[in-house]
Amino acid sequence: MNTFDFCVADVKGREVELAQYRNHVLLVVNTASKCGFTRQYSGLEALYRAYADQGLAVLAFPCNQFGGQEPGSNDDIASFCATDYGISFPLFAKVDVNGANSAPLFEHLKHAAPGIFGTHAIKWNFTKFLVGRDGAVFHRYAPDTTPAALTADVKRLLAV
């Protein structure tokens, strides 16, 4: 299965076919509004603005599975992201990324790019998955990897 084969709900609950991002490089991130890494929204926005016109799409999926750090509704999350970080990249509905109710997209990403020691579970908020224009998962990045640190890999995939 390919990343572009999935359908997900956006922050307003509308179904979005990821096929619309075919031929884009995707940076898929599980996010949270009350996390020590929340400031990475600024870096994600900067990366998106720098490379969106070349085909980068940042897709943010809020998740409340880590320390209850995303307790708000989808509307609360959208308001926070717009007001506090001015994000212009797509924001999706809150999802689970681990466990029995894990979103199918994240099951795909986790199995395509296992974590350290081959683990599949996502360990914390702001785990990032970079996906090439062909829909193949290129790499998984740890929560403490800043968006700026992904620049070289993003540029490499955009050049393909």
> Tens of pLDDT along the chain (160 residues)?
899 999 999 999 999 999 999 999 999 999 999 999 999 999 999 999 999 999 999 999 999 999 999 999 999 999 999 999 999 999 999 999 999 999 999 999 999 999 888 889 999 999 999 999 999 999 999 999 999 999 999 999 999 8
145 Rama class: left (phi>0) / alpha (psi -120 to 50) / beta: beta
SS (H, E, C) 72-101: CCHHHHHHHHHHHHCCCCCEECCCECCCCC
Active site residue 35: yes
Domains of the chain: 3-158 (3.40.30.10)
Considering the candidates 7, 35, 63, 81, report the single residue annotated as catalytic: 35
